A and B are shown apart, each in its own frame.
Chain A
Amino acid sequence: MSRIGVFICHCGENISRTVDVERVAQEVGKLPGVAFSTDYKYMCSDPGQNLLKKAIQDQKLSHIVVAACSPRMHEKTFRKAVEAAGLNPFLCEMANIREHCSWVHENKEEATVKAVEIVGMMVERVKKNRVLPTITVPVTKRALVIGGGIAGIQAALDIADCGHEVILVEREPSIGGHMAQLSETFPTLDCSQCIMTPKMVDVANHPRIKLYTYSEIELVEGYIGNFQVTIKRKARSVNEDTCTGCGVCMEKCPVRKIPNKFDCNLGMRPAIYVPFPQAVPNTPVIDRENCIKFKTGKCGLCQKVCGPGAVDYEQEDSLVVEAVGAIVVATGFDLYTIDEKPKGSAIKGYGEFGHGKIPDVIDGMTFERLASASGPTGGKILRPSDGREPKQIVFIQCIGSRAREKGISYCSKVCCMYTAKHTMLYHHKVHDGQAYVFFMDARTPGKSYDEFWRRSIEEEEAVYIRGMVSRLYQKGDKIVVMGSDIAVGVQVEIEADMVVLATAVQPQKGADLLAQKLGISYDKYNFYSEAHAKLRPVECATAGIYLAGACQGPKDIPETVGQASAAAAKVMTLFSKDKLEREPIVARVKESGCVGCFACKKVCAYGAVEEKEIRDRQGNLIKTVAFVNPGVCAGCGTCQATCPSKCVELDGYTDEQVIAMIEAL
């Protein structure tokens, strides 16, 4: 027999102003099964909780209903109090008589009647509550970090420094990502390579970081604390263990004119190459599409000159499986392809700006390579067309970003700042040059950011024109830029030597495919979605997977590093215990009735439903049924709603409980 205790909260005056709480306590006290019923001014306060604990012991209560605010507010508080008094926390339910009653009604009489009914429903419900044991799952204390840009590097270093093993997977031949391509960084103008490369070396030398470059995620199985990840290691054609990184192979390679992607195709590289001299690992890779040996079977020069004999033409792609407990996704961004409409995309191109057709119309990243001391021009700003120094340069912001009619409505966040930086770098390198910037607004929130932007105008003589460019075209060796200055209301025409487009930040190509492998959600632009925009910004809705950097949305370096460390902290929180405790609000399959249609498996967003074989004692297969892995289940209840046989129950929200509530009305 249940001995239910009901506690009615006044919530200061929030509830008692509109609900006669004493009458509710009296009325509810008459319900069958209710052994104790009282009201108190603040149930959530320390004396309130003590009242609850004392009543449980004195009255020998078996189930508890707290009628107060929303369970989202204080369910955890009261369940903890109930647990402290020696009851299973899941024998406590909350009746919401604040948001669902006092706040939305004015008539005290009617609100009181409604409050009695709401509490009555929960009394009937709590009678059907079962003791639920907390779920524990073991945790593999190794982390996988996907992406070796600054986000992935920071997260990997933080986790490894805390004493845990980290697997860092990078798609390109070297780690470093986009930050390694940058010249100087805002708002302090320190050299990107100078702050980046030491961190890259730290990764390479760290005893607890296992680095897989030129590798991709093939398959992700398992769940929080227990993932099995299959990694495809693409054939490098050079043995990483024996190569000393002397570089002779690259010097001797007869193929020399392959545009280097790292230099935005401005510089050239051989067929056996490292993307940039500071690459980590400093092991070359053979670009098999352009290598003479792979194309014709002849040549083989690199193998002949390689002292340690590291060049291996026979190498094949291989798969490795790693067991990890947590995954940090840090796949970063890519720049919007401005000249053409991406295939199968709602996003339109910006053909009117001549990118790809006019050689001196370049994007922001190409300008970074021109300005970089280690870039193809040694840090001189020179036109790709004729190698002359541009004396008039036009920067155009918001290319792709904030253009709903073109398909992207978000702000790329970094362009205002990097364009201001570009004007400074240009001014430092071309003293007699003039920089113009077309902009919609300058968005410069951030420490020392607005000061930096002001400096580009006030000290570095950049001319900012508020307005967009309607058209630009080649005229002789000049580019005529036609736009409007909406602050003054006049048309502007500038004969520029070079135009730099601040193109939108987009997620990496294939971000959606990786998300599907991981079972995490993404938005319409393929940016990964966090579990809660404000309160859980680095966690995915899928337990055990965390986000760092621009794969989640446009970010600058300080923000990315901050988020990477935050993700690492989340991973360390997970790794701080040997077993992981999870709330037991999970789905359970009634195997006797399950017909194995697996509709539940098909609708599960978390990959929590597995197939389970039921066999008799002789080992004959009786049937295959669904099984919900409690370690993965998030308790959303979709499977319960989908099951045509009604053979899935969500603990804490069973059909029996819900029907009892309805029947109480």
Chain B
Amino acid sequence: MTKPIDTSIYTAVTDAIRTEAQRILSEGQVSAIVGYAAARRKGSAQPIVISQPDDAAKLIFTPACVNNLAVYLTKAKKEIPKSGKIGIVVKGCDLKALSGLMGESQLKREDIYLIGVPCAGVLASTVQPATELTTDSIAPKCTECDAHLPTGCDFVPAQTPVAADLEKKYAAEITRLEALTPAERWAYWKEQFSKCIKCYACRQVCPFCFCEQCLCDRNKPQMVDTTPRPAGNTAWHIVRAMHLAGRCAGCAECERVCPMDIPLNLLNRKMAKELKELYDHEAGFEVLDKGPLNMFTEKDDQSFIK
């Protein structure tokens, strides 16, 4: 049964973000702020970079603020020129990505001003931006959210998000796939990957795809076939899932931007589940010096050594 989700705090959150943005920009604490602003279509939102205190009024937070803005701070994407400390508006899921980037030496905490957002959820990419946020229209990633209230930020509006108890969509789908035989599972993924057109939108939007030179763009030696054919498609998505294992923070941007609707976050969630079971690792707000796959402890599972 469809139930509405309480987003009443978003107005107060928007006001608080504007006041804080205005303050830190006019005090010169930051040179720019990455946030969300209203877009052309009714109810829609888009990323914005502001550098003038007067522009703080443009900032908003609504259920349409789906993007993970962390991607704008990575070197490979080079979206924001490096000019002093930068402010960024982050939901809990986005903050996990930023923590991961800090752990991987891509960002320094002292170079960022974190404006945390208490968030009850955002809209799925399949619905219109002006839709009311309900148990049906909510983004699948939000059904599994454990990070409604970011911590360790420089500023968080004093609002408490009301977290609805929702059916975990990825967990349910993973359980379904795990019950299949390997042949059936292979058939499922073969069909999914056959849709891929190698547009690399998933790579471009991913905060962890910060390599300056993606190995898939190399031709000496050529690791992955670049044409959108089954073998190369499968190789690409498996390589990406492997590279994200133990790093992916679950923002699901890859899945949101995929024009062919490949359930990419499902792969990443399955890897996260494996990491949890094998190494008790979960992406969180804490900055880790070493990721779970970059270290060895005596407790690590060694059952694969026969």
Contacts and interface: CB of A to CB of B under 8 A. Distances in A.
A599 B298 contact: no
A597 B105 contact: yes
Contacts of A629: none
A655 B210 CA distance: 21
Contacts of A594: 212
Interface string B78-122: 000000000000000000000000001110000000000000000
A595 B75 contact: yes
Contact of B106 (A593, A597, A647, A660): A597
Contacts of B294: 599, 602-603, 642
B220 A595 contact: no
B144 to A, nearest CB: 25
B211 interface: yes
Interface in A617-665: 623-624, 642, 644-647, 655-656, 659-660
B215 interface: yes
Contacts of A36: none
A547 to B, nearest CB: 22
Size class of the A contact interface (CB-based, 8 Å): 20 to 34
A524 interface: yes
B211 A593 contact: yes
B146 interface: no
Given A599-B294, A656-B220, A646 B215 contact: yes
B301 interface: no
B105 A644 contact: no
Report the interface size class on chain B.
Answer: 20 to 34
B104 A599 contact: yes
B243 interface: yes
A646 B223 contact: yes
Contacts of A645: 211-215
B276 interface: no
Contacts of B298: 524
B223 A644 contact: no
A11 B214 CA distance: 46
Interface string B235-247: 0000000010000
Nearest to B242: A644
Nearest to A659: B221
Contacts of A660: 221
Nearest to A656: B221
B218 interface: yes
Contacts of A655: 221, 223
Contacts of A573: none
A318 interface: no
Determine which residue in A524, A642, A645 has the highest number of CB atoms from chain B within 10 A of its CB, and name it.
A645
Contacts of A659: 221, 223
B211 A595 contact: yes
A596 interface: yes
A296 interface: no
B176 interface: no
A644 B212 CA distance: 11
Given A593-B211, A595-B212, 4 more contacts: A594-B212, A595-B106, A597-B104, A602-B290
Q: Give the 9 A-B CB pairs with smallest separation, nearest first.
A: A593-B213, A645-B211, A659-B221, A597-B104, A646-B215, A602-B290, A602-B294, A598-B105, A656-B221
Interface of B: 75-76, 104-106, 210-215, 218, 220-221, 223, 243, 289-291, 294-295, 298
Interface of A: 524, 592-599, 602-603, 623-624, 642, 644-647, 655-656, 659-660
